[in-house]
Structure 1
């Protein structure tokens, strides 16, 4: 491949004269993580979520002002995976969630949290996902005593940004997690 000839001094001088004073643009975007294995990505995101629970937890929870009702309880067939599609949304979207076509942009691990703490964390996650224009999130509720497994879907149905959710594929938590499709 032939090399380009260097620019003449007069061309460089003309360019600098026409452009004038230039200030560098400050980068205001967070650079995405380089592609890695899903397991490593999951660990990094999980560690970030644990770090975020500490210092800025109160600020995130104050920003997430959505309140979930504990009085609402939807019916899910116990013999089938947990799934939901908001009325007016194409049923094909929940099939795509089931197949794992949507990798989660954010992952929230609720292990070790009480019901009220988990409710606040989910509200904060949905608020953050909306702010960051995330289309899919994963909520790992675990199995344990099935307390969070029973409540998390009921809370998600109430949120206006939730379009659909489905039990996660094995790579994202299986029976102990939900993949949630959000309105962007």
Structure 2
């Protein structure tokens, strides 16, 4: 059943004349809606994100800097001023990685970008431990990944991963998270 519109109130002639005087000289607006022939593309947004990611990775990771760590044997690093016991805890597997990054098939530049993104994601999600699987292959990433990670200010410690997380083809890292007052007593 259709609803009947409510009866309109009676408009007297004086109100109608006042309305006509107030809109005198008004012109009808032309429709100004713009319709695109095709959807606007978004490569500029993706390009900016890629440039930002690349800039972050280049800022922290340099190929020229070679830290004083042995990458041919067991990888072991603790940031100066941090507890040396962290390396032993990583070696024993006391920390389980909350994020795992697999670098198989990536070149050095792509690996730098992914490492920067991993550390950023760990900080953002408040993850303390992560695993970077670099593989063994031709030993390029096996040597470069620890050298890159040592350069980042938020890497607290790293050690070759236990067998269950990748052994000689992976590294466990601890991220230095900012202290929050929520957990202090």
Distance 2:120 2:47 in 1: 13
Distance 2:71 2:125 in 1: 34
Pick one of 98, 101, 105 that aligns with 1:105. 98
Distance 1:174 1:159 in 2: 23
CA contact (8 A) 1:142 1:176 kept: yes
Pick one of 58, 62, 74 that aligns with 2:52. 62
For normalisation by structure 2, the TM-score amounts to 0.64
Match of 1:122 in 2: 115
RMSD: 2.1
Larger Rg: 2
Distance 2:53 2:65 in 1: 23
Match of 2:176 in 1: 183
Instruction: Provide, for residues 123-171 of structure 1, a one-character-per-residue CA deviation record: whole Å limited to 9, x for no partner.
Output: 1111111101110000000000000001001100110100100000000
CA contact (8 A) 2:74 2:159 kept: yes
Match of 1:91 in 2: 84
Distance 1:59 1:89 in 2: 33
Query: Structure 2: which 5+ runs fail to align?
Result: 1-45, 178-185
My pick for the range that moved more, 133-142 or 72-81, is 72-81
Distance 2:51 2:118 in 1: 9
Distance 1:75 1:62 in 2: 29
**1:60 Cα offset (Å):** 7.4
Matched, 1:76 2:72: no
Change (3 A) 1:82 1:101: same
**1:73 Cα offset (Å):** 1.0
Change (3 A) 1:75 1:128: same
CA contact (8 A) 1:142 1:177 kept: yes
For normalisation by structure 1, the TM-score amounts to 0.65
